[in-house]
Structure 1
């Protein structure tokens, strides 16, 4: 997978939040992957470029990206049925020995 250059504005929009859960913690320890909630329109190349751009001060190298589309659950609001929004999850594999520090995210252009 080739890493393409990405605009800083788009990089900040793609990664919405890290997905913190028991499963995500186990995956991080076992497979050296971080789980992110990402923009539904983002593809693998954009996610890779965004992660490498946002943590370029730590020189993070992405090895692979896996994507999962999560369907929104049906929920009941009183007597009406509603639905949560669909969203996209990305499993981002990073090079062995590297670790992402979330407090050191890039703020803007250098």
Structure 2
């Protein structure tokens, strides 16, 4: 089971990474904070201080068009904000 699905790279989380040493990840919905902490430490070789998680629900939408109703929805996912120890950082932009 892969815990970390992908990192979140937005302006807000990038700014948090520079100032507060916090980084965001989309993680498996069934993963708990301890599993997320161990997966991030193993993948990036850093010390994790704190993990905060958020569950996002699927948003449903209905569009009325000439050809009729179009129904759609976005995927539900779980987001984890990981705070690393002072002085350590994760560089998502280098492929080294």
Q: Name the TM tier (shorter chain).
A: 0.7 to 0.9
Say whether residues 1:89 and 2:75 are aligned partners: no
- Could you state the TM-score of these two structures normalised by the residue count of structure 1? 0.73
Q: Report the structure, 1 or 2, having the larger helix content.
A: 1
Written as runs of structure 1 = structure 2, the 5 A alignment for 1:1-110 is: 10=1, 13-56=2-45, 60-76=46-62, 79-102=69-92, 103-104=95-96
Long gaps (5+) in structure 1: 1-9, 105-110
Higher share of residues assigned strand: 2
**CA deviation after TM superposition for structure 1 residue 15, in Å:** 0.4
* Aligned length in residues: 90
Stretches of structure 2 lacking an aligned partner (at least 5 in a row): none
Q: CA deviation at 1:22?
A: 1.3
Runs of 4+ aligned residues of structure 1 deviating over 4 Å after TM superposition are none
Deviation of 1:40 after TM superposition, in Å, equals 0.5
C-alpha RMSD over aligned residues: 1.6
- TM-score, normalised relative to structure 2: 0.82
